[in-house]
A = this chain, B = another copy of it.
């Protein structure tokens, strides 16, 4: 038995490209004492991996960390038998050898696709949930603006906000097709393509302003959002995609930041890894709504381990809607 894994083929420099990656084959290890071996079923590719590469986490001969789900196929741990369904962060490989501390056993819910444990029920969904419920503290009747609305986190945030009672959820995204997708499939009230003008688009979809901005982007999007936030508006700031490509030289902060005072705004950053205790709440909320169809499991699935680099590069080019996954 063999495993395959993606490794760095050259030092990371600028925008990732196919020849940054190579696929190696190695004998499948047996689990040592207190270890299990997992056969991965789905791998997640995420924007933060770009940052991880640039930060030096991508060294010649080594791989990336990445979220994955799969089944235990060999075990020396009594309460982790063969067949146990688990999530872990040693992805970018067909198999992983893990200790119990490195994994989380997943509850398999009837009527919920396994892949949802990487999307709506995984770190992606948890990011959206924490940002809305703990940071922005969305209330029924709020008007909400979500950036990268067709992406995994943005799409989850928009759907959750609507189901939490938001009055009107609007989004920005990167193409006319994605505008159609977030309105037609994800239930956003309106959306716009930011390439056509951020301030103009936002003014068109939210002419009366918004109460909450779920920020996935930073930079110019944050500046435009501050302009349309109403008094006492809240920003849940969960990432900074705009920053990934230019870490040494972050994008300028919003020129209108002083409106935080004048409009009594709250700008709050958060990291999902500091809020893992919210997972049971998220499952209570999302599982019945996935079953009923009120929550759409929005995924772009690429089949075959060898296409993992291709899936990641496609994600960075915005070729997905929803969660970008590789199915093994």
Q: Chain A residues in contact with chain B, CB under 8 A?
A: 218, 231, 237-240, 243, 250, 252-255, 257-271, 274
Contact = CB atoms under 8 A, between A and B. Distances in A.
Given A253-B252, A253-B253, A268-B267, A243 B258 contact: yes
A262 B271 contact: yes
Given A218-B261, A259-B269, A260-B267, 17 more contacts: A218-B258, A231-B274, A240-B258, A250-B255, A252-B253, A257-B257, A260-B268, A260-B269, A262-B271, A263-B269, A264-B268, A264-B269, A264-B270, A265-B268, A266-B266, A266-B267, A266-B268
Nearest to A215: B261
A277 to B, nearest CB: 14
A257 B243 CA distance: 12
A186 B263 CA distance: 31
A265 B257 contact: no
* Copy total for this chain: 2
Q: Which of A218, A239, A259, A260 has the most CB of B within 10 A?
A: A260
11 contacts: A231-B274, A239-B261, A250-B258, A253-B253, A253-B255, A261-B270, A264-B269, A264-B271, A266-B267, A267-B268, A268-B268
A240 B267 CA distance: 17
B252 A238 contact: no
A269 B265 contact: yes
B264 A253 contact: no
Contacts of A262: 269, 271
A327 to B, nearest CB: 31
A102 B265 CA distance: 28
A253 B222 CA distance: 13
A250 B260 CA distance: 13
Contacts of A260: 237, 267-269
Contact of A261 (B240, B261, B265): B240
Contacts of A267: 260, 266-268
A259 B237 CA distance: 11
A264 B271 CA distance: 6
A250 B261 CA distance: 13
A261 B271 contact: yes
Nearest to A231: B274
Nearest to A250: B258
4 tightest CB-CB pairs across the interface, nearest first? A253-B253, A261-B269, A260-B269, A253-B257
A257 B242 CA distance: 13
Contacts of A231: 274
A268 to B, nearest CB: 4
A213 to B, nearest CB: 13
A252 B258 CA distance: 10
A254 B253 contact: yes
Nearest to A243: B258
Contacts of A250: 255, 258
A264 B254 contact: no
A263 B265 CA distance: 19
